[in-house]
């Protein structure tokens, strides 16, 4: 019964992935693979864990760049 539950979740997540943007689609498909493995269908690919993407925002600039006026 638990296997059917996870297989159903995997199917629903794949349906959502069809309508999602590429980044979200990739994350949803990874989630579906994990649900498949819990439902008794092991994933054919490698590990589902992967590092988070690097931040695209530059580090904050120094607030005070010159000598203090206080």
Rounded to 10 degrees, what is the CA torsion of 45, 51, 54, 55? 120
Give dist(CA 49, CA 64) in Å, integer: 41
Q: At what angle do helices 2-18 and 22-38 cross, to 10 degrees?
A: 170
pTM over 0.95: no
Give dist(CA 28, CA 2) in Å, integer: 20
pLDDT tens digits, one per residue of 8-58: 999 999 999 999 999 999 999 999 999 999 877 544 544 445 565 666 776
């Amino acid at each position: 019964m638990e296997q059917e539950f996870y297989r159903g979740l995997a199917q629903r997540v794949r349906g959502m992935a069809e309508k999602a943007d590429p980044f979200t689609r990739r994350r949803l498909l990874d989630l579906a693979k994990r649900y498949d493995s819990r439902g008794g269908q092991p994933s054919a690919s490698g590990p589902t864990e992967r590092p988070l993407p690097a931040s695209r925002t530059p580090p904050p600039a120094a607030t005070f760049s010159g000598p203090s006026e206080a």
